[in-house]
Structure 1
């Protein structure tokens, strides 16, 4: 919900739906997102964290999510499951829901043994935990019986899949969302405040992204006047959706692209930039150039992320992964906006990233 509270993301949702997304539909989508890890209730998944698995077969939570849908009755999720089960195209939404790790998860065959059962020798009751989740749904979404998700068109479901994957990455970061073992009915207010703050901190809102001046040539370069190819880009109106510039090496295409970026940013059309080049070597060289240009363009310059798997670089700083999933940066700074640089799946969540064409294809657009 915090992501869809950002103007850019909300406009993209509207574009994917081909009409404005209604607030009641947004809440229905939030209910679905609430259920995306429901498979973790299964004893077979919980046993992964037990010191003694007690002979419980280990299971993956995505498969268990599908199998949970076969356990539903009138009392499931404190009586809320029946409302969700009656939503139009619910199977399509479940397909999207259980694909939140970025790949489709095929619904298991009917003969597969259920991972949901009562354990006599372990103090874990998955049904009681499901009851807590249902109570939370009722408390946090009191209008659940009346809301419905938007039509499950392929275009919008594709958008939802990407948004859910991004939200899952953000919400799984314990630096922003410290783990709480005990159920707390009012946690929703805490989570909303933390989500709003984290979305700002990691650069997924327009907050703090201010150009030093008007998006003209003087903002991009200290050369007196742009070259011919660059000047041509400067005349293209912000509403133009596709701009192709073909020019010889050394004609200043990078600066032309930055000028276009500044123009669209000032017009509120975009909030991020990705440079896609053919090779990793070219990306490394260009990342330094782009990072230097950002210092000139912005009052509080974002760091250009190097979008090359296996390398962790934001601006001029290099990072090293530590065993506890944290990062050690060689400039000893901890900047939340470097979150996007810490894993290849997040590269295109950066405000500015420089990488290869292949990386763009594998990660998708922000």
Structure 2
């Protein structure tokens, strides 16, 4: 036999020919050559890595694979498991060419074999195994059968194509880091290299060097078509406005050598996003990455950032920039769909290839990605294609916005692991925050070898480098200090909002819980106030409609804001750029209150003090007296369900500190307020709250322990430290389980989606989520009902298990205890 006897892919049609294994391997190596250039490897290592990628499907030269392809006989081993065994068996030939340490070779063999999203868990023994080989190894070679000699010939032929390949000089740490990077790199090369429209099987059997030359030409076209052809960063001015203090600092701060971490701390509305883009562009020009990924806390904040990024990032590179949105509902973003379907665009506008848009995993490969932090955190959890996500991020400047929202113990531990892994791969990062406690900042800086105990605020800190403080203030109009006034009862909040709305003020009440927000709107409407409502328990179509209405009235360019009243939950803290004259807020931890206050008197350049119907900005805080604490239920008499949302100790400290201070002075006074509640020197709480605080601390410690168990073992390398489990088994966040309801309307022809949308988006836009524990206590509609089965029969099995289709009656009833209304959202009612 010979290399021409081993097919790698079936014929595409009856008149087509099989694609030989060695030709497919050369296709993938040609793609790898196109992709690897910007990563800065020296030539010997670069050639060695591309050679290993070329050998990723070596075991297609085997009896087992050929029988599967031609005779449809199932394989007893997955083919990547056989590849690892075959590479170990043929190591003497590879060792003569690649050299290097045996353990390094073995580690990289396992990495490249794991290109289907998971490492092998078969016992192959390893290169230094002595005695009789493990059973898995022996069975694997039996499956290779008569292909062994031809596989050896293929190895020798491929080595000749990469004469400079060498693993000499690799350290153990570098090898481990590469073991996490290489599987994802190989996956991408394999996916693109399998494009048989461009990389077609030849009708004859050319010599390998001749085939390789044609494959290289086709690979360049395929990589460009996928949207992965690397461009160079452009040294141009990104913004034509006068830079604000933090933005000017980011344009000047010295960068450290190697991977760099910068922390931008400034008040809400200070232009941190633009500052980060200025700094990221400088990092790109310094060779610290070849793209960006913006990681946001929620889908709503990611959508908002995508809109902003689309206006700017197209100018970053010397070719058309690819831009993607990465989260579970990206396909429902009108802005993202516009980019996908917009056709040819100008050279300074971002675009997105169909290939990149096909999955959230691929979205991390674009020049610029915007998504939830969850998409980045999956790169450090033992889930399938974890290494692909890591590879996608490895060449990016990672920009994490609202990083103060990631301080909860579980997600905080994940973020630290993400930064450690990113740095090990040579990646740089920028963290944005308004309210980051100093202790958390210190932990994050230490990952990049930095430290800072400076209490100055605002501040720009480069780990191991310069800290810029004393930033000059803008000369434009400011809102000044925000005065704090305590309200003791919800009806007092209603009176404040009624009074000022009657005088033409745009007003908002931020509540901690959805049920409380609904109750507040009912109270306001009973007073004759046409209050609007926004929370997370609306069907997505209704939420998007309401968000658009709210932005049109109270947004940056809002019109008709006079007398406008909105009641909302935490979705108002960061996802929407809103500006109110009057604000009431339920008591919340200091960091959250500062974020909320950032929506009060926000756009002073457009709406200076003299134009507002209120003489000064005031944050009215609904809270009991912190000097009167009888028991652990101190909050419950004033705030209903919202009293359970945050740790009561943080709530009490916030009330105690804030009411004594009487004001929020931004930016100069923010650090002291944050540290007094969230810092390591925070004061003691009343004895009645001690048990609740200890319980909360215990839950935090347990959450960090849970994270430590879930995060991949970076030091162990990909084969030992990686897994390939379902994402749901390794959540990116802890919290109460949610169930998704899919709402439907009854018509004579059957059920139709709640959303008034045409096309496939109608059903996803009809989804709403709520706590599983509350929903499971209700008699939800029977999913075996014929009208429901008519819709769900085509759903995948996982979706039928996790989602619930719910017809909504004309009066809003879903079942006893549950209703849905367009103006109120999902409403739980007492069954008593």
> Do the structures match in fold with TM over 0.5?
yes
CA distance in 1, matches of 2:333, 2:317: 16
Cα distance, 1:196 vs. partner?
4.4
Please report the RMSD computed on the Cα atoms of aligned residues, expressed in angstroms: 3.9
1:92 corresponding residue in structure 2: 107
Residue from 266, 289, 295 that aligns with 2:308: 289
The 3-state SS of whatever aligns with 1:318 is: helix
The 3-state SS of whatever aligns with 1:350 is: coil
The 3-state SS of whatever aligns with 1:274 is: strand
What TM-score comes out, normalization by structure 1 length?
Answer: 0.72
Contact 1:202 1:336 in 2 (8 A): no
- Whether 1:68 and 2:79 are equivalent positions in the alignment is no
1:26 corresponding residue in structure 2: 46
Contact 1:199 1:205 in 2 (8 A): yes
Rg larger in structure:
2
Cα distance, 1:188 vs. partner?
2.0
Residue from 327, 344, 356 that aligns with 2:360: 344
Contact 2:100 2:170 in 1 (8 A): no
Give unmatched runs, 5+ long, in structure 1.
14-20, 75-79, 320-328
Structure 1 segment 193-342 matched on structure 2, within 5 A? 193-199=217-223, 202=226, 204=228, 206-207=230-231, 209=232, 211=234, 214-215=236-237, 219-220=238-239, 222-223=240-241, 225-239=242-256, 241-295=260-314, 300-309=319-328, 311-312=330-331, 316-318=335-337, 330-331=341-342, 337=353, 339-342=355-358
Give unmatched runs, 5+ long, in structure 2.
1-31, 125-133, 346-350, 379-388, 396-832
What TM-score comes out, normalization by structure 2 length?
Answer: 0.35
Cα distance, 1:300 vs. partner?
5.0
Cα distance, 1:135 vs. partner?
5.7
The 3-state SS of whatever aligns with 1:59 is: coil
| Bigger Cα displacement from structure 2, 97-106 vs 64-73 | 64-73
Contact 2:62 2:143 in 1 (8 A): no
CA distance in 2, matches of 1:38, 1:243: 43
CA distance in 2, matches of 1:69, 1:94: 6
Deviations 1:49-103 (A, max 9, x none): 33x435x5443112212333575598xxxxx457369752232232323233343
CA distance in 2, matches of 1:104, 1:118: 19
Cα distance, 1:311 vs. partner?
3.5
2:33 corresponding residue in structure 1: 2
The number of residue pairs the alignment matches comes to 326
CA distance in 2, matches of 1:138, 1:299: 35
CA distance in 2, matches of 1:269, 1:9: 10
Residue from 28, 38, 45 that aligns with 2:65: 45
The 3-state SS of whatever aligns with 1:172 is: helix
Higher relative contact order (CA 8 A, sep 6+): 1
Deviations 1:13-59 (A, max 9, x none): 4xxxxxxx3x3343333332222222333333344433x435x5443
- Whether 1:141 and 2:162 are equivalent positions in the alignment is yes
CA distance in 1, matches of 2:87, 2:317: 50
Q: Following superposition, which runs of at least 4 residues in structure 1 exceed 6 angstroms of deviation?
A: 333-336
CA distance in 2, matches of 1:158, 1:199: 25
Contact 2:293 2:364 in 1 (8 A): yes
| Bigger Cα displacement from structure 2, 130-139 vs 259-268 | 130-139
2:139 corresponding residue in structure 1: 114
CA distance in 2, matches of 1:348, 1:271: 12
Contact 2:52 2:112 in 1 (8 A): yes
Cα distance, 1:249 vs. partner?
2.2
